Structure 1
Amino acid sequence: MDPILDVSGNLLFCVDGATWAVWRILPRESARSTGRQLQELYARTLTFMKSLRGEVMIASLCEQVQPHAIIRRCLDRIDLDANPHWAETVYHAWDQLEDLDVLGRSYWVATPLAGHGWRDAVHGLLRATGAALAESLGIPARPATVAAIAAARERARSAEQEFGAAFPLRPATEAELLWWLCRAPVRGVNEPQLENVAALHNSGIRLRPGHGRAQLATLRSTVLDEGGRTDHLPENRGGTSKLKQLAGPLRTLNRRFLKCLTPGDGGLVESYQAFLVLAEMPRAFTFPGHEILSRLAGIGFGVDYALRITARSNEDAKVANRRRTRDLMSQDEEHGGDRVGVPADVRSAQEEIQHKNARLGASTTEIDLDVGVVACVWGATAAECDARATTVRQAFLGGEYTWERPLGGQKQLYQALLPGHRTPMVVRECSQNLLASDCAMLLPVSATEFGDPTGALFGMVLDGGAITPFLLDPTYGPSHDSSGGIAVLGELGSGKSVVLKNVAAVVRLMLDGRVIVVDRTRSREWEPFAHALPGDCQIVDIVDPALDNERTTPAELRHSCDPLRVFHGKTSTGITETFFASWLDLESNSAERDALGRGLDEISGRPDASSTTLIDTLAQHGRKDPAARALAERLARLRRDPITRPIFDPDLQPVNLLGADMVVFCTNEIPLPSALEMSTERMVARIPPRKLFGRALHLLIAAIAKEICFTTDRWGEFICDEAYNVTGTPEGQQIALEFVRDGRKHGADMAFGSHAPQDLGDEILRGLIAVRFLGRHRDDDLARHSLAWLGTDPDDHHDTVTKDLSPLNPAGGEPERQARAGEFLVRDHSGRIGRVKVITQPYRTLPQAVLTTPTINRGHSRKTVR
């Protein structure tokens, strides 16, 4: 007989007269975190454990996430009529998800509600008696009365308050409870979807409109076949003795799994499930190191688990422990005549109980818990189910944890993972007696959500027990009163440019925003990428391509970056003065700086304003002002250098700030000062003018990007690969800081790519960057500095970054290396850290255009270097 008679809200009314209440747990910190965040998770778990009273069930359940559920998150608040390119991209992303087994994880707490006085006890007894009588007569059980529901809700509110505020709790909905009950017999096979709606997919159950009562008849039609006796045994073939034929049915006695048969639209749905109970634990616990339940959630396939807990108060625990102490100490006398003395295990148990008594006496908030841990794995066949159960057992042997699969107790363990069932004897026999502080070290509850709630399917999370989606929305932080900014660090070839190109693709395809890019690669890798995206693009060469005799693609200088022609009004004057002062290394209080300001004031606002006009104006001022004459002569001399043509050539069309959806500035031939040259004032004074021009021009590009992104109502993204080219100057760093600090007010953001955190600017700028990607770094010092910037303990993930992120020489050879390309440790907008494999947005030819691996000629053959 099914123990559940009725469901109302988060309440379950059972045949034994008990009423259970169920809540969803919504943890904040993740067990993947380290250091301070992991300690905070332990502190919250400890507070929660100390709040438990009586019988409590804590459950962690997997859910099959269907592709359409992820796609809905990708399409949230997107007008597909106005943005058909995103519709096309998401359509192809759906195809990618069809081949993946995507799992989610949810956490629950359930407890039977204690009654208040004899009236509640009588009502429960009457309900149990009526249910038993109705079952014997074949009459449907009556639903709970309105009065019973009201009384139970009041007790549930009191129980929720007792749990405290360690973890955010939310009362489970009827649809969620039905999902839990309906999913159990079909784990891994045609599961219903966990959705807070009135009707559940594939469950066969509907809620009464307007009443909120569940029809539970479908649940009772499931057949639980322990040992799979309904499986077809091997046919008898010639030569097989009758003894072997008779032994066939006996083989089922050692088949330690449960076969669930549930009627479905296409016939019976068969689900093979194996249940394990934690029979042994180490005597001493340390943290971190014993968070086995979080490891259980990351074992590589879906695992459900539940803790069946009976809590005793501090005083009750002291009384019980005194009895245990007397029993253990009495064994000294029993072994007094034995020459070998008291056995070691008895001595160890005596020391353990004494230590537990001391801890109970030292803290009045410490409580005693009898904890039974049950785990469930499943598979499409009995063999797959057995293999996964064996994997779970083997994975924890090194830590002195023993998982057992009781023979003949699989059905009881199945019930132990459901609310409304009392803790079965098979679980009580294996329960471990723990203090709350020790039980909390198991970390039964931790956040599994990672990435943004909506946005583009940017990658797949690899360390949550199964593959789960990682969504990225560049606007999420700025639109939720948080800082923005995206940064990607890693060594050469780790995939930084691929991540930044995918960020640009998301901005263009999903947001229809504008993208400005600084491309310093000789191969002009961003040019084919820009052409692969929809909309107009401007490819702005800073150095005349004709100067490069080795260029294999035809190109010519088409655009002018003259700030006096690109900008207008006061913006033009300010940016031009900053540009020339940086280029010419003019001090703020110098005579030449004053002369420059006077010249700009005179030509500002004129239709013929340009840098050439500025030189003529300074030459005229030079008749009376030596500083103006010297400045005009310097600029006239620099104008003759072909590298400065984008500033002084009047025949080039100025960059159109609002005329393109994507602007790529190709600056590969522009020299830049090295860190050594910028280290001292004496070295700075010797920097060649061309390098000073390169530094100033990158500052000018940053100013152009700010003007484009901050002055329109479209989202703007400034992408600076090799970030030190912009952040290497105080002026460029200030612009980058304005993007990160104030960009959310203007609908703009900035993405950085580099090799070390120091390249991202000062401490403030580095700290304000919200989303952080860290790729492979085989150098020890660079890996440690990057992990510290990521927000984790460098010792915890050091080997991951140096050896296990997109490894260059994996055991599987070249196929595995290519399959694992694009792995990063990622910190999301909420500060959570996870391991992600970045995937390219599936838009037309974009996946091919994103790749940056060079092709090298070796004689007549071509070999791709990856």
Structure 2
Amino acid sequence: MEHPIQNLCGHLLFSRDGTVWATWRLQGQAYGRRAVAEKEQIRVLHQMLYRSLGGESLHLGFEVDTDPVQVIRDMLRGLNHPLEELPEWAAEVEATTERLETDLPLSERTYWLSVPLRNSGASRLSEPLRAGTTSLLNKLGAPRGVPATAILADRLQQAAEIQALIPGPFNARPATAAETVWLYRHAQTRGLGQHDTWLPPAPSTDELKAAADMTEHELAAVQHMASPGRIGRLILDEAAVSDVPADGWRKGFRARLRRLLPSQRKVLKIVDTDDDTLVSYQSLAVLAGTPTAGAVFPGTEWLGKAEDSGVPVDWAVRMRNTAREEVLSRNQRAVKNLNDQYMQREGEISTGSHELDTVAAALTEYQALLAKDKLEVELQTITFFATSAATREQALINGATLARFYNAFGHPLERPLGEQQDAWWAMLPGTAWPKKFNDLTQISLSEGFSAAVPNVSSALGDGRGALWAVNETTLATSVVMVDLFATILANFSAAVAVAGELGSGKSYALKSLAGALVDRGARLVSIDRSSTGEYVPFGRSLGSCTVAAVLDNLDAGVYLEWSLDPLRMFPGDEGSRLAQRLLTPLLSIVPDSDVELALTYTTDPAYRAKHDIDSLQTLTEHLLDPARHDLPGANELGRKLRGLRTKSYARVLFDQTLPALDLWSSRALIFTTHGLQLPTRAELLNEHLFRKMDPEKHFGRAMYALLMSLARAVAFADPDELVFFVCDECHHITASIEGEQELEIFVREGRKVGAAAGLGSQDCENDFGSPTLRGLIPYRLVMRLTDENLARKALEWIGLEPTQEHLDEITGDLSPRDPADPDGKVDPERRGEGIFRDSYRRIGRVRILGPALEARRIAYSTTPRASSSKLLKQPTSPSTAAATPPATRPATRSDATRPATSALEPGTRTGRTTSRVTPPSTTSPSTTSPSTTSPSTTSPATPIRRPQRTSTASTGTAAAVLDKPTRVRNQAQAADVTAAAAPEASSAPGAALPPSRRKKASPRRSAAPTSTSHQPEGEPQDRDEDQG
């Protein structure tokens, strides 16, 4: 069968019956998780669209698989450096390509509007005549003709007038000829997965600007060059009668008879004559009714919820717009007819006029609605749905599933028998009004039909940059990309905050974003106070990392390697300022005192240069030598510094053997602060508590202020370079007044200098600072919070009403523990779930992906591994020994002294139990060889195929470092991060989705998952704090 397209010129379609159609692509409106008032605004926006379209129109909502190539293009957009200079990002992009092609099916819904342009005046005769002549010439083999330039210019003017009436938020863009061809090709290949036609890329901004600057005649001339494309000839097989039974014609006779049943004939087989291997089976349905009792908005979005049906579905609405005056005139005639019927039934006794009363009430209400709004119009709509599959059976199942879905809330669907082909054609532009389905026409006002809210979008993120998560707001999953630098360039704040309880995946989410930003050329600064030093292996996996410890952390294998003496790090004025800010609160120096004046004077760059003072150590020696100065208060200041120097925790400031930290030597800078004590807010606000505060807390308070200043120094150094400052468990920053002020300054002024902050904690109200600071964070992610009070705060912070439904989702449906799992772990398919609000204030449900490279996923995860530590052997207690039968009593130290000819020789039978007692020297855990149990000597994991990195990412394990009394450098850490974490490779974080086309339902969905992806369960259950 031949398609109705005769010519394609840009977004104009010249059909064979003489009509000209103009097609636009519309932008879906963010709708899902919004307040009722915002939803009402979007409904009104749809109402305005329908009122603006006089006459006939075709509205399309086609679901399309996302082209992996387009995702890769978006990941490569916005780079500030050539890709050759970013090998880490190139490796991640390459791994993402494989992930998209195999494990991450994505789709989106595209919206289109096609309007037949009216033939007025002479064109009513000339257009059909021209179309007939062209068709005849084509059949005779004459060269294909194109419309004249004057005709094109007139039609473009008509289309421009219609486009001007479309409400601006829909961002109507004229479709290209290639996109019109895609609409037809997609309709032919529905349900064929990778064989479906990819949607052509949209025109670039430059191309759109160039087209906008053209005159009508220039644009018409250019449109002549647009190819109509090759759609091909089709075979439409109603009920798929051409299918040969699997057992042949004779043996498959019964199966063939079953296919004659009406329920088995509601399918359409589509074959391209040029490639008969690509066969699409489709089941078409038409809306047959709406709820008679009506519905309350919101809650009536029956067309916008098509994705929730669980099957891939396209829809089309054939619409006719009738003016209010014509409808009122027609209704007046209906009232007269109704009065006549009342008179005719006046003598009836049994039924009387009950039916007429119902009709009269409906007509009265209809008239009242038209009367109250002079802009109201009547809409006659026929709504079509198309489900598809690669097999006949699955197409029928999908069609029945869709029908059950809509029947469940009062919108019955009719799957026309013998008219599947007609329904298929009715869903394409260029075809005539489907008169066969006039009996299924639904009549409503624009106010009523707009409540269906069809043109909605669940898109989240920035559309380019780092691939951070998958959007699971609907069953049609899509990608969530974040580009903080682009947000900054758009003059908006780029702060990110993640709220979630321990183990919810909060830290993993921050690491995933930070790692991607560093790979794209940004710098990273992080303060890590965890006992395990979780950000150390993460930072070293990035290839270029400096770890600066404030205190030795034996558990994490992190030692003092760098001095944080501000006078050594910054020889000039910056060093003086930082030294004064550090020492004033640390030494409890009173402002305007002699001690304060001495500090100011002796840290001045000129004074330091004159007296060879280049560190806090030499400053202390200078102050303690009265022969070198006669400053009032200098001696007291020197004694205070000498007292501080004797403290073991102050070594990071006074140890001259430590090299001064170079803040710019690596792209990742990690400060570890485990063991550093901090004051509480109560201790800072209450004078009597402040005076009794431990000196270590004074030191911790001052050091955190210094670290924040260092982070700001790095971030504010170069406005053209993005710096991402990660403050996980940020309550240790915002607990102090100074820390909160520093963080607020960072967020407030970061936009001007290309700096962004990433915060993480459990309590978004108390831990993310003041209301002003919380309000300056545009990117907000809420992960699992099982405490209802914390969940309520998080909902209000993210912009959702704390309804019971939302509370249940946050507390029980975000990465819930799997009761079927013997260990009570979270289903791998559900790890990393959260509610995300992007910088456009759109809100949706997401699942954090993590990096595509397996080695990175292992390094980012902090889920505790199974314990392999040695069990301390204890003697058996007397009570246990008395209650334990001799044959099963465990061996004790006294067993080692028993003679070899014990009553329990190996293999000796005792009653029904045969027991073998092995000498403790071979079985006791306390004597087990370290080579078999130590995590540091575990065999390396299978090598990961990836490009060669510019620098090796390695970490040291605690077991390896404990044998070294001296300090070790980052570059000398022994165990590679992939080898250290190799035992957990099978449970490493990842983001593989099921290989099927759609996201399979987990406990919150309708079906079980079909694959086992590797993704982090989230954050470990650490003894002290969240290890994310």
Alignment TM-score > 0.5, same fold = yes
Deviation at 1:815, TM superposition (A): 8.0
Distance 1:254 1:554, change over 3 A: closer
Task: Note if 1:784 corresponds to 2:784.
Answer: no
What's the CA shift string for 1:72-120, capped at 9, x where partnerless?
Answer: 221235422222221111111111111232212211111111233x212
2:1017 aligned residue = none
Distance 1:629 1:347, change over 3 A: farther
Q: 2:227 aligns with which of 211, 214, 237?
A: 214
User: Do 1:62 and 1:103's aligned partners in 2 also have CA atoms closer than 8 Å?
Assistant: yes
Distance 1:614 1:95, change over 3 A: same
Amino acid at match of 1:794: P
Deviation at 1:531, TM superposition (A): 2.0
Task: Note if 1:33 corresponds to 2:34.
Answer: yes
2:124 aligned residue = 121
- Matched residues in 2 for 1:45 and 1:721: separation? 43
Q: 1:580 aligns with which of 580, 583, 603?
A: 583
Q: 2:113 aligns with which of 94, 109, 117?
A: 109
Amino acid at match of 1:568: P
- Matched residues in 2 for 1:335 and 1:140: separation? 67
- Matched residues in 2 for 1:617 and 1:350: separation? 102
User: Do 1:229 and 1:252's aligned partners in 2 also have CA atoms closer than 8 Å?
Assistant: no
TM-score (normalised: structure 1) = 0.90
Distance 1:342 1:611, change over 3 A: farther
1:542 aligned residue = 550
2:649 aligned residue = 643
Amino acid at match of 2:693: I
Distance 1:278 1:681, change over 3 A: farther
- Matched residues in 2 for 1:82 and 1:684: separation? 51
Amino acid at match of 2:732: N
Task: Note if 1:457 corresponds to 2:459.
Answer: no
- Matched residues in 2 for 1:585 and 1:442: separation? 67
Structure 1, 34-43 or 664-673: larger mean CA deviation:
34-43
Q: 1:424 aligns with which of 428, 434, 453?
A: 434
What's the CA shift string for 1:472-520, capped at 9, x where partnerless?
Answer: 2232211222211111111111111101111221122222x32111111
Q: 2:409 aligns with which of 399, 415, 424?
A: 399
- Matched residues in 1 for 2:760 and 2:594: separation? 39
- Matched residues in 2 for 1:290 and 1:245: separation? 42
Q: 2:244 aligns with which of 226, 232, 241?
A: 232
Deviation at 1:627, TM superposition (A): 5.7
User: Do 2:245 and 2:255's aligned partners in 1 also have CA atoms closer than 8 Å?
Assistant: no
- Matched residues in 2 for 1:583 and 1:490: separation? 33
Deviation at 1:341, TM superposition (A): 5.2
User: Do 2:53 and 2:162's aligned partners in 1 also have CA atoms closer than 8 Å?
Assistant: no
What's the CA shift string for 1:249-272, capped at 9, x where partnerless?
Answer: 63378421211101455x431011
What's the CA shift string for 1:816-856, capped at 9, x where partnerless?
Answer: 61221111211223222222211121235111111111235
Residue 662 of structure 2 aligns to a residue in which SS? coil
- Matched residues in 2 for 1:140 and 1:275: separation? 37
2:448 aligned residue = 438
Residue 143 of structure 1 aligns to a residue in which SS? coil
- Matched residues in 1 for 2:60 and 2:512: separation? 38
User: Do 2:321 and 2:377's aligned partners in 1 also have CA atoms closer than 8 Å?
Assistant: yes
1:201 aligned residue = none
1:48 aligned residue = 49
Amino acid at match of 2:709: A
Matches within 5 A, 1:291-302: 291-302=301-312
Distance 1:676 1:227, change over 3 A: farther
1:202 aligned residue = none
Gaps of at least 5 residues in structure 2 are: 204-220, 872-924, 926-932, 936-982, 985-1019, 1022-1028
Amino acid at match of 1:172: A
- Matched residues in 1 for 2:695 and 2:67: separation? 59
State the structure with more CA Rg.
Answer: 2
User: Do 1:491 and 1:755's aligned partners in 2 also have CA atoms closer than 8 Å?
Assistant: yes
Amino acid at match of 2:613: D
Residue 105 of structure 2 aligns to a residue in which SS? coil
- Matched residues in 2 for 1:573 and 1:56: separation? 72
Amino acid at match of 1:785: K
- Matched residues in 2 for 1:36 and 1:138: separation? 60
2:614 aligned residue = 609
Structure 1, 736-745 or 181-190: larger mean CA deviation:
736-745
- Matched residues in 2 for 1:245 and 1:610: separation? 91
Amino acid at match of 2:241: R
Deviation at 1:353, TM superposition (A): 3.0
Amino acid at match of 2:233: S
Structure 1, 786-795 or 89-98: larger mean CA deviation:
786-795
- Matched residues in 2 for 1:50 and 1:506: separation? 46
Residue 731 of structure 1 aligns to a residue in which SS? helix
User: Do 1:17 and 1:128's aligned partners in 2 also have CA atoms closer than 8 Å?
Assistant: yes
Deviation at 1:133, TM superposition (A): 4.3
Deviation at 1:55, TM superposition (A): 0.8
- Matched residues in 2 for 1:386 and 1:647: separation? 74
Deviation at 1:163, TM superposition (A): 2.6
1:732 aligned residue = 739
Task: Note if 1:471 corresponds to 2:481.
Answer: yes
User: Do 1:541 and 1:666's aligned partners in 2 also have CA atoms closer than 8 Å?
Assistant: yes
User: Do 2:493 and 2:756's aligned partners in 1 also have CA atoms closer than 8 Å?
Assistant: no
User: Do 1:48 and 1:166's aligned partners in 2 also have CA atoms closer than 8 Å?
Assistant: no
2:773 aligned residue = 765
Distance 1:481 1:376, change over 3 A: same
Deviation at 1:660, TM superposition (A): 2.0
Structure 1, 373-382 or 807-816: larger mean CA deviation:
807-816
- Matched residues in 2 for 1:577 and 1:333: separation? 100
User: Do 1:228 and 1:252's aligned partners in 2 also have CA atoms closer than 8 Å?
Assistant: no
What's the CA shift string for 1:265-293, capped at 9, x where partnerless?
Answer: 5x431011111222111242322111122
Distance 1:379 1:631, change over 3 A: same
Amino acid at match of 1:433: I
Residue 847 of structure 1 aligns to a residue in which SS? helix
- Matched residues in 1 for 2:865 and 2:636: separation? 49
What's the CA shift string for 1:629-677, capped at 9, x where partnerless?
Answer: 5554444333322122212223222211112221211111111223443
2:959 aligned residue = none
User: Do 1:35 and 1:793's aligned partners in 2 also have CA atoms closer than 8 Å?
Assistant: no
Amino acid at match of 1:494: S
Task: Note if 1:167 corresponds to 2:170.
Answer: yes
User: Do 2:328 and 2:367's aligned partners in 1 also have CA atoms closer than 8 Å?
Assistant: yes
Structure 1, 463-472 or 844-853: larger mean CA deviation:
463-472
User: Do 1:263 and 1:269's aligned partners in 2 also have CA atoms closer than 8 Å?
Assistant: no
Distance 1:20 1:811, change over 3 A: farther
Residue 393 of structure 1 aligns to a residue in which SS? helix
Distance 1:147 1:555, change over 3 A: closer
Deviation at 1:772, TM superposition (A): 1.5
Residue 720 of structure 1 aligns to a residue in which SS? strand
1:90 aligned residue = 93
Matches within 5 A, 1:257-656: 257-264=267-274, 267-283=276-292, 284-326=294-336, 337-339=348-350, 342-343=353-354, 347-511=357-521, 513-535=522-544, 537-545=545-553, 551-552=554-555, 554-584=557-587, 588=591, 593-601=596-604, 603-604=607-608, 608-616=613-621, 630-656=636-662
Structure 1, 742-751 or 225-234: larger mean CA deviation:
742-751
Deviation at 1:346, TM superposition (A): 6.0
Residue 158 of structure 1 aligns to a residue in which SS? helix
Deviation at 1:239, TM superposition (A): 9.4
Task: Note if 1:699 corresponds to 2:697.
Answer: no
2:235 aligned residue = 223
- Matched residues in 2 for 1:526 and 1:237: separation? 67
- Matched residues in 1 for 2:393 and 2:821: separation? 26
Task: Note if 1:668 corresponds to 2:671.
Answer: no
Residue 785 of structure 1 aligns to a residue in which SS? helix
Residue 413 of structure 2 aligns to a residue in which SS? strand
Distance 1:724 1:356, change over 3 A: same
1:57 aligned residue = 58
Deviation at 1:327, TM superposition (A): 5.0
- Matched residues in 2 for 1:294 and 1:679: separation? 53
Distance 1:523 1:391, change over 3 A: same
Residue 651 of structure 2 aligns to a residue in which SS? helix
Amino acid at match of 1:87: A
Residue 751 of structure 1 aligns to a residue in which SS? strand
Residue 293 of structure 1 aligns to a residue in which SS? coil
